[in-house]
């Protein structure tokens, strides 16, 4: 079983999004065939949502049995449920609302208007994860986890030199004083993310080039959280040409 990292470079954002969306449909179909069910962890951000929108318009979309797919999120902004800032709302509008997915298969983080405090919301999502982890696991092992990467190298809501990226006991954390607004968030922790079979990091734009270069050059994951993302089977950086500016040529894969 290989868990090496691969970097796939595309000429522009559109080519990147189309390729990732096609691979997602293909791989999810493979997982359902092999395991009967697929657990997918989504991300927000411009590129992450663009991938979901591309899935929605793909001719292959309706060939997938979406009733066998469970959707989770790597992080969420602590805002009202109807807020446009919610990763969940953006994902629903881009893809999920158009799919025949049972309501119980969509595992959204709590929101500020749900009657829970931030810490209670973290505990509630941890309980939801545990209910799908079986007898021995604290969370399901995601088949595919999407991650965006910030210009500072953050993944999910795990930021450089913050407590969250160092957390190893909890599956979900409450994030306060986030360096990126809004200040309060909820996030999965690194052990949960890295228990995923496949981590797909999707990056676009020259503002991501430095973080990507550092992550691949062996930077500490506490300083560049993206450097610590590593799936059990495979870790793939899907990037456009602008984001790849600081990636050594020897690390760029010719194919998946």
pLDDT in tens, 2-56: 567 899 999 999 999 999 999 999 999 999 999 999 999 999 999 999 999 999 9
**Residue 252 falls inside a structural domain:** no
> Does residue 112 register a pLDDT over 50?
yes
Give me the mean pLDDT over the 151-156 stretch: 98
First-to-last C-alpha distance (Å) of the chain: 15
Contact 141, 199 (CB under 8 A): no
Residue given tokens 């052990």 in the structure block: 191
Q: Determine how many CB atoms are found less than 10 A away from the CB of residue 132.
A: 15
Q: Tell me what pLDDT residue 256 has.
A: 55
Residue given tokens 């999707």 in the structure block: 202
**Residue 256 falls inside a structural domain:** no
**Residue 130 falls inside a structural domain:** yes
Distance (Å, whole) CA 29 – CA 68: 10
List, in order, residues 6 or more apart from 93 with CB less than 8 Å away.
Answer: none
**Residue 207 falls inside a structural domain:** yes
Task: Report the CATH number that the domain containing residue 238 is assigned in CATH.
Answer: 3.40.50.1360
Give me the mean pLDDT over the 60-73 stretch: 97
> Does residue 130 register a pLDDT over 70?
yes
List, in order, residues 6 or more apart from 103 with CB less than 8 Å away.
Answer: none
**Residue 179 falls inside a structural domain:** yes
Distance (Å, whole) CA 40 – CA 6: 20
**Residue 168 falls inside a structural domain:** yes
Q: Tell me what pLDDT residue 147 has.
A: 98
Domain housing 181: 5-247
Chain-wide mean pLDDT for the chain?
95
**Residue 61 falls inside a structural domain:** yes
Q: How many alpha carbons fall within 13 Å on the CB side of residue 156?
A: 33
What confidence category does residue 253 fall into, taking pLDDT thresholds of 50, 70 and 90?
Answer: confident
**Residue 255 falls inside a structural domain:** no
| Number of domains composing the chain | 1
What confidence category does residue 250 fall into, taking pLDDT thresholds of 50, 70 and 90?
Answer: confident
């Amino acid at each position: 079983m290989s868990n090496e990292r691969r970097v796939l470079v595309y000429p522009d954002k559109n080519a990147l999004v189309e390729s990732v969306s096609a691979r997602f449909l293909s791989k999810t179909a493979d997982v359902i065939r092999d395991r009967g069910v697929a657990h997918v962890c989504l991300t927000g951000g411009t590129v992450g949502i663009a991938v979901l929108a591309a899935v929605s318009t793909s001719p292959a979309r309706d060939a997938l049995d979406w009733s066998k797919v469970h959707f989770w999120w790597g992080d969420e902004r602590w805002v009202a449920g109807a807020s446009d800032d919610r990763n969940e709302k953006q994902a629903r509008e881009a893809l999920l609302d158009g799919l025949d997915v049972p309501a119980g298969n969509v595992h959204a983080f709590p929101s500020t208007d749900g009657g829970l405090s931030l810490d209670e919301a973290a505990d509630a999502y941890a309980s939801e994860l545990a209910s799908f982890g079986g007898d021995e696991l604290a969370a399901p092992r995601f088949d595919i986890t999407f991650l965006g990467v910030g210009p500072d190298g953050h993944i999910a809501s795990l930021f450089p030199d913050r407590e969250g990226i160092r957390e190893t006991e909890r599956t979900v954390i409450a994030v306060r004083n986030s360096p990126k607004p809004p200040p309060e968030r909820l996030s999965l922790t690194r052990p949960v993310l890295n228990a995923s079979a496949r981590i797909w990091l999707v990056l676009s734009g020259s503002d991501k080039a430095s973080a990507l270069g550092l992550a691949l050059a062996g930077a500490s994951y506490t300083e560049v959280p993206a450097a610590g993302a590593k799936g059990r089977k495979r870790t793939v950086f899907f990037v456009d040409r602008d984001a790849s500016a600081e990636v050594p040529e020897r690390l760029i894969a010719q194919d998946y």
